[in-house]
Structure 1
Amino acid sequence: MPATLRRAPSRGVEWEFEKLTIARDFSRNVVAKMLVDRAEHGGWELDRVRVAPDGTRRVVLRRKIIRMRPTLYAAD
């Protein structure tokens, strides 16, 4: 189950992070396809991958948070 966090590492840019733990049972190709799918359809990019001694992968994905600013609309 992914955990989602938010933080602002630099000025003006806010990132949303998602942590995944992937079991060692999945092949490298399956994991790559899953991450590519998340990147294409969810806007995520790879931030970090760590492989534990038991073979599980801990993956951190990130994406920019885009804030919409309200615009003033003057009705005539």
Structure 2
Amino acid sequence: MRETLTPTQSGPGAPLRQYEYLEITVSRDESVPTAYQRLREHAEYGKWELARSTLYMGGHRKYVMRRKVLRVQRTLEIYS
């Protein structure tokens, strides 16, 4: 099983992305219940939701999960 997290840029000039994405690739040798267990753990503990699942010829699977990017703005001005 391979996991790839698409990085999001932050700071001034960064694109206003609303989601960050995690791709999980499962080989055909791995069992489906094991893959679902992994997806459930990401959903429960990492606040990810399943955006897309793809089954390829040959048995490989790819799952794309997403979660909202929370942008925190400073509320307190600090003067030096």
What TM bracket, shorter-length normalisation? 0.7 to 0.9
What is the RMSD computed on CA atoms of the aligned residues? Answer: 1.9
Matched residue, 1:3: 4
Say which of 13, 31, 37 aligns to 2:35: 31
In structure 2, distance between residues paired with 1:40 and 1:24:
25
> TM-score if structure 1 supplies the norm length?
0.78
- CA distance, structure 1, for counterparts of residue 49 and residue 75 of structure 2: 30
TM-score, normalised via structure 2 length: 0.74
For the pair 1:66 / 2:70, whether they are aligned, the reply is yes
Q: How many Å separate the matches in 2 of 1:31 and 1:55?
A: 13
Q: Which runs of 4+ in 1 moved over 2 A?
A: 1-6
* 1:31 counterpart letter in structure 2: A
Q: Percent identity?
A: 32
Gaps of 5+ in 1: 7-11
**Equivalent residues, number:** 69
Q: Which runs of 5+ in 2 are unaligned?
A: 9-15
Residue 60 of structure 2 corresponds to residue 56 of structure 1: yes
